[in-house]
């Protein structure tokens, strides 16, 4: 692994792990009133596009980071819909 790839993986690790506290807090408290539905819809869509792009160019840092971050953002998005609109 060269230095450029290492930077990519470290950046991916940091930005992906930044979502964990929000996911944990959201699932524990079941309170999503302060979270923006449009923001999570746009973010999740963008992550899916980044994932697709990463697959197309075979960039593992993009693939892994956007897969994991996409799942975390999707968890928050589903919780937002469930707690705010279906409860």
CA quadruple 63, 65, 68, 74: dihedral sign: negative
pLDDT in tens, 44-60: 999 999 999 999 999 98
pLDDT in tens, 56-78: 999 988 999 999 999 999 999 99
**Residue 28 pLDDT grade (very low, low, confident, very high; cuts 50, 70, 90):** very high
Among residues 33, 48, 10, 11, the alpha carbon closest in space to that of 82 is found at 33
* Residue 17 in this model has a pLDDT that exceeds 90: yes
Give the pLDDT score at 87.
80
Give the pLDDT score at 10.
93
Average pLDDT for residues 76-86, to the nearest whole number?
Answer: 95
* Residue 24 in this model has a pLDDT that exceeds 90: yes
Architecture of the structural domain at 3-85: Up-down Bundle (1.20)
């Amino acid at each position: 692994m060269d230095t450029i790839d290492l930077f990519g993986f470290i950046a991916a690790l940091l930005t992906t792990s930044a979502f964990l506290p929000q996911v944990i807090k959201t699932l524990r408290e079941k309170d999503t009133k302060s979270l923006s539905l449009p923001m999570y819809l746009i973010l999740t869509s963008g992550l899916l596009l980044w994932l697709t792009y990463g697959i197309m160019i075979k960039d593992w840092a993009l693939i892994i980071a956007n897969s994991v971050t996409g799942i975390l953002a999707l968890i928050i998005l589903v919780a937002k819909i469930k707690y705010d609109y279906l409860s």
